[in-house]
């Protein structure tokens, strides 16, 4: 009997800038080991984004990169940006590549899981009694709001327009509700409805979607300033947090410190066809680039999210997450947590050994 042909997934690889390329390489190594003995393969198509793309093509998101993503199952990104491009005009800033790929591919739903592993509790700045049952999914709307609204500036004034439509709010709300229904059925909307008209529209639309389609959910509203406070005083009380673009950017970075380091947390940005862009939430860290000490854990966990959410390979995703968590339990900690800890390659070697 002929052996079954393995499934092939096409993934666009976007190493990016500085440590982005280093942690991306770690994920590639782990995925190569992970697919051995399993009935799927990952075909990588590496493309340019960010500063590397600016240097090569003059623009932060070449059309070739966008075209490659259009025909792929997912994309895996390291990190973009850095001081080498600080003097470039706005249209050549590396970070614009991220905004353009989100808009171009309709990546409206950003998922940032914040889960505190017991082995890492001591690295959180919060007291242990505040860190019980921390397991939060932050759902951030990613293609609207002030990041994408009309902008202008002159010598004395500037304006960034925050604009949202009912459709944009409805679709990300449904995504958040679907996630909450598979968890503890609690949804918290983070807004500033006492001041902003956009937030008042968010409240109206979210309440309508939940009442009509997800009546089993427990819906809570919190102003963003109160949410920032409660995230530190009672983080274990949150399940799924839904918010607009700028608030989500800030709140998710705050939440990352519950776990002790930006270098530990992954993210996914999804569109309506389940294509996802997967990346660690940390930046390109030019100060440690080339030293072999970058933390690869967030990148590895981003690859696990890719396996689960876009490729549907839950068993492989579980295996990769288990390998990472096993390293933490055995004290294999990166330099941002332990100054005497192993480097990027050594950590990747250990994860791959546990996968093999």
Give catalytic residues, as residue numbers: 147, 192, 225, 249, 253
DSSP-derived 3-state class of residue 134? coil
With contact defined as beta carbons under 8 Å apart, do 110 and 248 qualify? yes
| Rounded Cα–Cα distance for residues 178 and 240 (Å) | 10
Residue for token digits 């967030």?
298
Handedness of CA 352, 6, 309, 97 (dihedral sign): positive
**Closest C-alpha to 217, from 252, 194, 189, 191:** 189
Residues 6+ apart with CB under 8 A from 1: none
**Closest C-alpha to 205, from 229, 226, 176, 230:** 176
| Rounded Cα–Cα distance for residues 310 and 148 (Å) | 25
Strand ranges across the sheet with 109-115: 40-46, 7-16, 74-79, 276-280, 266-270, 109-115, 135-141, 240-243, 186-191, 218-223
- Provide the 10 A C-beta neighbour count for residue 311: 19
Residues 6+ apart with CB under 8 A from 327: 297, 347, 350, 351, 354
| Rounded Cα–Cα distance for residues 237 and 253 (Å) | 18
For the stretch 290-299, what's the b/e string if a residue is b when 16 or more beta carbons lie within 10 angstroms of its beta carbon?
A: eeebbbbbbb
For the purposes of burial, counting CB atoms within 10 Å of the CB of 109, is it exposed (0-12), middle (13-18) or buried (19 or more)?
buried
Q: What's the full length of the chain, in residues?
A: 356
Residues 6+ apart with CB under 8 A from 245: 140, 141, 142, 143, 144, 145, 146, 147, 148
């Amino acid at each position: 009997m002929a052996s079954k042909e393995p499934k092939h997934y096409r993934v666009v690889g976007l190493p990016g800038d500085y440590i982005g390329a280093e942690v991306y390489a770690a994920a590639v190594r782990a995925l190569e080991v992970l697919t051995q003995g399993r009935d799927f393969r990952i075909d990588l198509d590496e493309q340019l984004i960010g500063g590397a793309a600016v240097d090569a093509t003059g623009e932060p998101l070449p059309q070739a990169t966008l075209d490659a993503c259009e025909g792929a199952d997912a994309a895996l990104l390291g990190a973009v940006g850095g001081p080498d491009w600080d003097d470039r005009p706005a249209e050549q800033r590396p970070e614009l590549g991220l905004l353009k790929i989100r808009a171009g591919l309709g990546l409206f739903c950003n998922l940032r899981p914040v889960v505190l592993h017991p082995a890492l509790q001591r690295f959180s700045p919060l007291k242990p009694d505040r860190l019980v049952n921390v397991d939060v999914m932050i759902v951030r709307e990613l293609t609207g709001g002030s990041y994408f609204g009309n902008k202008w500036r002159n010598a004395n004034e500037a304006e960034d327009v925050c604009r949202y439509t009912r459709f944009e709010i409805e679709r990300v709300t449904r995504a958040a509700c679907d996630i909450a229904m598979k968890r503890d059925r609690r949804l918290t909307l983070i807004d500033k409805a006492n001041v902003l008209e956009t937030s008042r529209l968010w409240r109206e639309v979210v309440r309508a979607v939940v009442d009509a389609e997800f009546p089993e959910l427990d819906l809570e509203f919190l102003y963003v300033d109160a949410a920032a406070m409660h995230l530190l005083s009672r983080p274990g009380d949150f399940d799924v947090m839904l918010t607009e673009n700028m608030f989500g950017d800030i709140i998710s970075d705050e939440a990352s410190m519950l776990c002790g380091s930006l270098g530990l947390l992954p993210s996914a940005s999804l569109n309506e066809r389940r294509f996802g862009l997967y990346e660690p939430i940390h930046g390109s860290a030019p100060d440690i680039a080339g030293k072999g000490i970058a933390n690869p854990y967030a990148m590895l966990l981003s690859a696990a999210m890719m396996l689960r959410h876009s490729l549907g390979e839950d068993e492989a995703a579980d295996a990769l997450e288990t390998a990472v968590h096993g390293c933490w339990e055995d004290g294999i900690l990166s330099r941002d947590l332990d100054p005497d800890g192993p480097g990027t390659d050594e950590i990747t070697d250990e994860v791959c050994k546990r996968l093999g």
